[in-house]
Structure 1
Amino acid sequence: MVWRTAVRGGLLISIGYAGWIAGSLSERNKILNENVEYTDQFGSVLRKLPGLPIFATVSATSLPDRSDKLIPFPDEEPLVSSKPKVVNRISQIMRFGFPGLDNVRSLDDYVLSYDRRNRVAHWVFEHLTEQTVKRIEGVDRSQCQFTEDKSIHPYFRSLNSDYRGSGYDRGHLAAAGNHRTDQKHIEQTFLLSNMAPQVGEGFNRSSWNKLEKHVRKLTRKYCNVYVCTGPLYLPRKEADGKTYVKYEVIGANSVAVPTHFFKVIVGEKNDQTLEMEAYVMPNQPISDDTPLNVFQVPPESIERAAGLLFFDRISRDKLRCINGRKTTFV
C-alpha cells in the first residue's frame, strides 16, 4: 500500500514538472517570436529582443564561417553604402569579438557598451577604412547637436545639464571625424551615451584630438582599422600610504569623470597581417610637444584595468607587431 502511494506521488510530481517545462518553453517561444519594433530619435527601427543569457554570444553580429578569412569577403556588400544593412555593418565592426557584453547597443556605424552606474560607456567600437573617413559633401558636423540617448532608461542617462558649468568638455569616444559617410552617422556620435567628461584645453582639444587624427591616418597604411575606446578609473596612492580609486562626478546624475582614457587599435594589411597599438592617456592637460608613443602601453594592462578582453577572436600569435615592436610570435 505504501509503495503504491509513493508511485502515485512520483507520477503526479513528474506530470507537474513536465507541465511546467512545457509551459516555460511555450512562453519562451512566445517571447522569441514577438516582433516588437520601435523607432529611435534618428529614425532607426529597433527591435526589442530578450536579454542575453550568461556567456551567450550576440548572434546578430556573428559572421558565417568562411575559413577565418581576415579580409572583407568578396560576395559581401561594400562597406560604404547609402543605406547599409545594420546587421552586416555591425558584424564588420565586431568581427574580432566583443570586449564585454554589458548593455551593448548597436548604432548604424559604431557599437557601444553602456555603464549605467557611471553614465559613461564602458567601451565603443569602430571599424574604419580610407573610404569611410573621407569627407563627404553634405555631411556637416556643425549641424549636429549633443543629444540625450533616449534608448537608455531615464534613471541612467547623462544630460546636457550635467556638463553645464562643470568645466569639462563632452568628449567623444567614437570620434565624429570617423563617421563622415552619412549625416545620420555623424549625428549619432553626438549622443551623450558616446560622451565622457574630458578636460578641454590640453586634452580633448589637443592630445586626445591628435590621437584621433593618428587613428584616421592609419587607414592609409591598413585596409581595415578596428579601434576600441573607453574610460579608465585607475587607482592612486594617497598621502596616507593607501591606494584608492577616486574620481569626480558631475551634474545631478553624477556622471563619472574618468581618470584616464584608452584606445586599442588593430590594423589589417592587404596581405592579412595584423598589427596592434594600445594607448592610455591621463584626463588632464598634456603638453602639445609630447609624442604619442609616450602613451603606448601593453594591451593586457588595459584589459586588466578595464575588466575587458580586446580582440579575443584574434590569437596573439597572429599579431606581427604590438606598439611598433615585432612580436616573437610571427
Structure 2
Amino acid sequence: MSLDLSLSRVLPRPRHFLITLVMVVGGALLWHSTEQGYRDRMSWMGVTEWNEPGVLAFSRVLRNDGYLLGWSDIRVGALWSSYELTAVNERNIGPRPSFQGDWRTLWPISTSSYSGSGYDRGHLAPNYAMASMGGVDAQRDSFLMSNMLPQKPNLNRQLWQRLEEVVMDRFLPRFGQLQVITGPIYAELSVASLLDRVGFVEVPDAFYKIIVVPGDTPRALAFIMPQDVSGDEPLDRFLVSIDEVEARTGLNFLPRLSASAAPAWEASAGVGNWQLSQVANLPGRF
C-alpha cells in the first residue's frame, strides 16, 4: 500500500480554507462588537484607557457581572474597576460569598495568597454595591481574587469602608445614578516595587476613587487615600482632582468627555455641590 503525501491531500482545499477563514474572522468581529457594546453600556463617557503607550500600558479588560476591571499582568493586579450604580427601593443582599480564584489572571493567585502578610483582601468593586445592583451573580463576582488588592486594615476596614458607605447611603439616594471608577496607585516600576509583593501581587502605595453623576451638567469627586492612614480622618482631607489621579496612574478616565469640557472639569477638586462636609466625618457602619 502506497502512502499518498501529495500537497493536494495534505493541504485543505482553497475553497474550504476560505470559508473557514471567513467564519473565524466574522466570529471574531461579532465577538468584538458585542463585547464593546457591553463595555460601552457599563461605562459613562468610555472605558478607561492609557494616556500614553508603554511597557506598563499592556493590560486587559475583564468583564464581570456588575463591573468592568482593567487587569495588568505586569503588576499582577487590577489597574481600575468601573461600575454604575442606580438607586433602588429594595436591596437584596445575600450571605457573604467565599473568595474565589480567577483563571483569567494567568498568575496563580489563590484565596489564601494574602495569609500572614498583614494586608486585607481589599475589594475594588464592593460587595454591598454589587449585591445591591446585580444580585447574587454580581455579588459572587465581586469576590474574585482579581477584584482584590492588598490593603492595610486601617484603610480597608475604616476609611475606605466609610467612603463606600457614603457613596451608597448618601450620594446614590440623592443623585439617583453614579458612575464609580476605583483602583490602585502603584509606585514607579523599580527593583523595590518588583519585590514589594504579596505573593505575586504588587502592593499599591495608595488607592483612588472617582465618583461621577452622569448627565448634561455632570458632577464629580475624586479621592486618593494612602495605605498608612489611621482610619478616622475626615474624607474631605483626601479630595483631589481627576487630573491628579490621571497623573499618578497614567490612565485616562472618561475618554469620551468633550475636549472643550475635559480640561476645566477634570482640573477641579470637586465639581458640583456634593455637601461633602456633612458626611466627611460619619462613622462606619461596622
Normalising TM by the smaller chain, what interval?
A: 0.7 to 0.9
CA distance in 2, matches of 1:303, 1:208: 20
Give the aligned partner of residue 278 of structure 1. 222
Q: Partner letter of residue 146 of structure 2?
A: S
1:128 to 82, 85, 90: 85
1:317 to 251, 261, 268: 261
1:199 to 134, 152, 155: 152
Structure (1 or 2) with the greater helix fraction: 2
CA distance in 2, matches of 1:321, 1:115: 27
CA distance in 2, matches of 1:295, 1:184: 33
CA distance in 1, matches of 2:235, 2:194: 26
Q: In the TM superposition, what whole-angstrom CA distance separates every residue of 1:144-169 from its partner, at most 9, and x where no partner exists?
A: 0000012332xx24212321111111
> CA 1:28/1:125 → structure 2, altered by over 3 Å: closer, same or farther?
farther
What are the ranges of 5 or more consecutive residues in structure 2 without an aligned counterpart?
Answer: 1-14, 51-58, 274-286
1:306 aligns with 2:253: no
Q: Partner letter of residue 157 of structure 2?
A: R
CA distance in 2, matches of 1:277, 1:24: 54
Q: Does the 8 Å CA contact 2:193/2:202 hold for their aligned counterparts?
A: no
CA distance in 2, matches of 1:112, 1:160: 18
Q: Does the 8 Å CA contact 2:119/2:150 hold for their aligned counterparts?
A: yes
Give the aligned partner of residue 256 of structure 1. 202
Q: Does the 8 Å CA contact 1:93/1:126 hold for their aligned counterparts?
A: yes
Q: Partner letter of residue 203 of structure 1?
A: L
CA distance in 1, matches of 2:228, 2:70: 24
SS at match of 2:49: coil
What are the ranges of 5 or more consecutive residues in structure 1 without an aligned counterpart?
Answer: 1-21, 35-48, 53-57, 64-86, 236-243
Q: Does the 8 Å CA contact 1:247/1:259 hold for their aligned counterparts?
A: no
CA distance in 2, matches of 1:260, 1:320: 20
Give the aligned partner of residue 110 of structure 1. 67
- Per the normalisation by structure 2, the TM-score is 0.74
Q: How far off its partner does 1:24 sit?
A: 10
Q: Does the 8 Å CA contact 2:239/2:270 hold for their aligned counterparts?
A: no
1:30 to 23, 33, 36: 23
Which protein has greater RCO, CA pairs closer than 8 Å, 6+ apart?
2
Q: How far off its partner does 1:32 sit?
A: 2.7
CA distance in 2, matches of 1:215, 1:128: 9
Give the aligned partner of residue 109 of structure 2. 158
CA distance in 1, matches of 2:241, 2:157: 25
Q: How far off its partner does 1:197 sit?
A: 0.6
Q: Percent identity?
A: 28
> CA 1:321/1:131 → structure 2, altered by over 3 Å: closer, same or farther?
farther
> CA 1:25/1:193 → structure 2, altered by over 3 Å: closer, same or farther?
farther
2:214 to 238, 258, 268: 268
> CA 1:61/1:278 → structure 2, altered by over 3 Å: closer, same or farther?
farther
Give the aligned partner of residue 118 of structure 2. 167
CA distance in 2, matches of 1:141, 1:277: 31
Alignment of 1:16-55 (within 5 A): 29-34=22-27, 49=28
Q: Does the 8 Å CA contact 2:242/2:267 hold for their aligned counterparts?
A: no
> CA 1:188/1:106 → structure 2, altered by over 3 Å: closer, same or farther?
same
**Structure 1 stretches of 4+ moved >6 Å:** 22-27
1:213 aligns with 2:165: yes
Q: How far off its partner does 1:172 sit?
A: 0.1
CA distance in 1, matches of 2:267, 2:70: 28
> CA 1:321/1:308 → structure 2, altered by over 3 Å: closer, same or farther?
closer
> CA 1:161/1:225 → structure 2, altered by over 3 Å: closer, same or farther?
same
1:140 aligns with 2:83: no
SS at match of 2:223: strand
Q: How far off its partner does 1:128 sit?
A: 0.3
Q: Does the 8 Å CA contact 1:119/1:157 hold for their aligned counterparts?
A: no
CA distance in 2, matches of 1:275, 1:295: 17
- Per the normalisation by structure 1, the TM-score is 0.65
Q: Does the 8 Å CA contact 1:159/1:192 hold for their aligned counterparts?
A: yes
CA distance in 1, matches of 2:108, 2:69: 14
Q: Which moved more, 1:209-218 or 1:164-173?
A: 209-218
CA distance in 2, matches of 1:246, 1:298: 28
Give the aligned partner of residue 232 of structure 1. 185
Give the aligned partner of residue 8 of structure 2. none
> CA 1:282/1:59 → structure 2, altered by over 3 Å: closer, same or farther?
same
Aligned length in residues: 245
